Amino acid sequence: MAIDYSALLSDDQKRQILTQRVAQFAAEAYQHDINIQVATASNNAEGIKASQEALVTLDTAIQIHQDALAALPAAPATTA
């Protein structure tokens, strides 16, 4: 019997987790983008390939998290 982990979290908690994860993945992708520039300047083909492969995975992770975020009900409006 599998636990429905999603049911254990509120939509707001899910929204916070997904938003944080997207930011973390974006930060990691930014680092790999810089790594590609360094590897290119250093003629390091292996470094370029490794960072490009990491970016493919990070792009997928970001897209999946953004899709999950978009699938959540809209956050309740806050009053000022």
Q: What is the C-alpha to C-alpha distance for residues 17 and 73, in angstroms, rounded to an integer?
A: 15
Q: What pTM value is reported for the model?
A: 0.86
H, E, C per residue of 43-62: CCHHHHHHHHHHHHHHHHHH
Rg (the chain; Cα; Å):
17
Is the distance from CB of 61 to CB of 22 less than 8 angstroms? no
Q: Which one is predicted more confidently, 75 or 15?
A: 15
Other residues' Cβ atoms within 10 Å of the Cβ of residue 11: 13
The average pLDDT across 62-78 equals 92
Cα-based torsion angle of the residue sequence 35, 38, 44, 50 in order, rounded to the nearest 10 degrees = 10
**Region 2-27 average pLDDT:** 96
pLDDT at residue 75 in the model: 80
